Amino acid sequence: MDANSVIDLIKLDVLPVVPKASGYVFLITEEVTSEIKWDKQRNVLQKIINARLIWRVSLNDIEELKLFSELTTTLDIGEAASLAYARYHNCYILSDENNRAFMREVRRIITEHRLKRTPELLVETIRTRSLSLSDLKRRIDYLRKKVSTQRDADDICHFENVLKEIERML
């Protein structure tokens, strides 16, 4: 899991639901964990880790560490760690990052077939009936009513785009 997806799932208040419903084992590297800066988000993530819905993992193998080091020259540490881990453990990576450097490395290291996007994961969760589209809409409406900063407004715009993508896939 990359930090952008973790943060989105926390803000949408679905992080506890998604791992239970999806059929995947969710892993998060120490580096991604360190990118979650806000106390409230860190607390939510820690509760989910303590409940063993997400497993914290580390890069230990010399090859993983070499790839991680190489990737940190063009990517942030969370993306680099997630990509290195995915490469050597044959995992998917959950990320909504789209910048050219990240996508170039995804294609080179794991291929786009092993890249999952948050809307795609939420669609899979909705299909299990563990979450509904109306639940997501209600959460976005709730967040819209609490907008107090430009960052909050940007989040709403982002979540509306996520919602459109989900509706398109359903």
Same-domain status, 83 and 50: yes
What contacts 63, CB < 8 A, 6 or more positions away?
A: 88
Average pLDDT over residues 20-24: 83
Domain-embedded: residue 127:
no
Same-domain status, 104 and 36: yes
Domain-embedded: residue 46:
yes
Can you give the pLDDT at residue 40?
A: 95
Same-domain status, 58 and 115: yes
26 φ/ψ sector (left φ>0, alpha ψ -120 to 50, else beta): beta
pLDDT at residue 7 greater than cutoff 80: yes
Same-domain status, 28 and 81: yes
Structure tokens at 3: 């930090």
Can you give the pLDDT at residue 19?
A: 87
Span 31-89, pLDDT tens digits: 999 999 999 999 999 999 999 999 999 999 999 999 999 999 999 999 999 999 999 99
Can you give the pLDDT at residue 22?
A: 76
Can you give the pLDDT at residue 23?
A: 82
Domain-embedded: residue 23:
yes
The domain that holds 34 is classified in CATH as 3.40.50.1010
**54 closest CA partner among 26, 33, 89:** 26
CB 11, CB 143: distance < 8 Å: yes
Q: Residue 75 carries which side chain, given as an amino acid letter? A: L
Domain-embedded: residue 82:
yes
Same-domain status, 115 and 40: yes
Same-domain status, 111 and 33: yes
Can you give the pLDDT at residue 21?
A: 83
The whole-angstrom separation of Cα 146 and Cα 12 is 13
SS (H, E, C) the chain: CCHHHHHHHHHCCCCCHHHHHHCCCEEEEHHHHHHCCCHHHHHHHHHHHHCCCEEEECCCCHHHHHHHHHHCCCCCHHHHHHHHHHHHHCCCEECCCCCHHHHHHHHHHCCHHHEECHHHHHHHHHHCCCCCHHHHHHHHHHHHHCCCCHHHHHHHHHHHHHHHHHHHHC
Domain-embedded: residue 155:
yes
pLDDT at residue 126 greater than cutoff 80: yes
The whole-angstrom separation of Cα 12 and Cα 37 is 17
Average pLDDT over residues 107-125: 96
Average pLDDT over residues 93-108: 96
Report percent pLDDT > 70 for the chain.
Answer: 100
Can you give the pLDDT at residue 111?
A: 96
Same-domain status, 61 and 136: no
Structural domain containing residue 156: 132-169
Report how many domains make up the chain. Answer: 2
- Of the listed ranges 16-30, 72-86, 153-167, the one predicted with least confidence: 16-30
Question: If you average pLDDT over every residue of the chain, what do you get?
Answer: 95
Same-domain status, 19 and 103: yes
Domain-embedded: residue 113:
yes
